[in-house]
Amino acid sequence: MKFYDCKPAPSPRRVRVFMAEKGIEIPTVQVDLRNGEHLKPEFRAINPHCTVPVLVLDDGTRLVSTAAIWRYLEETRADPPLMGTTATEKAVIADTQWRIEAEGFMAIAEALRNSTPGMKDRAVTGPVNYAQIPELAARGRQRAEVFLGRLDEMVGTKPFLCGDRYTVADIDAMIAVDFAKWIKLELPAGAANARRWYASVASRPSARA
């Protein structure tokens, strides 16, 4: 297998932390997003969608989304389980991930990509250029604030987001909180539950992956 990564970017980090928790090591290639390496013909031949992470399997299959790579690694390296063990656990984790993705990651990405001068005409990932929409940057920021505010209730008094066990939802939400720092947002000062949870998950060795 081969893993295409970009160390500073949030999405491939979601895969790296997942791999670290499972003790998986895969030969890794760094793709220099800041210098547009993902838009060059050599990388387009690997992933025409021009995004990382990418996991190339031994049979040549290319997985080009975080969700697909997580699924593959969970199926092939079950221990420790990060996506649930019972049907209900698996579904609750999927529900939580959906929320983090739609209300967290996408909102933060909207705010960032529609306002950062270096991302002019790159408001959406992928091979097609789209102009920035300043109103969308403002709305994304507002939605990201709503998401960060809700995390406190989502965690509640539980050790982890989905209960007593660390799961992929904790990876996802931790990295969403870190990604929010790119647009200068953080967990509300009074969010005691979310702050306690974040301190716990961010102190795991895997968080440095």
Residues of this chain that interact with a copy of itself (CB under 8 A) are 49, 57, 59, 61, 63-65, 67-72, 75-76, 86-88, 90-92, 94-95, 97-99, 103, 106, 123-124, 126, 128, 130-131, 133, 135-136, 139, 142-143, 146
Nearer Cβ to a copy of itself (6/56): 56
For residue 44 the two structure tokens come to 């387009």
State in angstroms the smallest separation of the CB of 168 from a copy of itself: 12
Q: Give whichever of 72 and 182 is closer to a copy of itself, judged by the CB atom.
A: 72
Report the length, in residues, of the chain.
209
Give the distance, in angstroms, between the CA of residue 34 and the centroid of all CA atoms in the same chain: 18
Give backbone dihedrals phi and psi of 89, rounded to 5 degrees, phi first: -60, -45
Closer CB to a copy of itself, 94 or 209, in the complex: 94
Shortest reach from residue 202's CB to a copy of itself, in Å: 26
Element (H, E) at 29: strand 28-30
Report in angstroms how near the CB of residue 133 gets to a copy of itself at its nearest. Answer: 5
Q: In whole angstroms, how close is the CB of 169 to a copy of itself at the nearest point? A: 11
Give how far the C-alpha of residue 184 lies from the chain's centroid of Cα atoms, to the nearest Å. Answer: 17
Region of residue 30 (left: phi > 0; alpha: psi -120 to 50; beta: else):
beta
2 vs 90 by CB, closer to a copy of itself: 90
> Nearest approach, Cβ of 180 to a copy of itself (angstroms)?
17
Closest CA to 166 of 101, 85, 108: 85
Between 91 and 192, CB nearer to a copy of itself: 91
Amino acid at 70: W
CA–CA gap between residue 123 and residue 100 (Å, rounded): 20
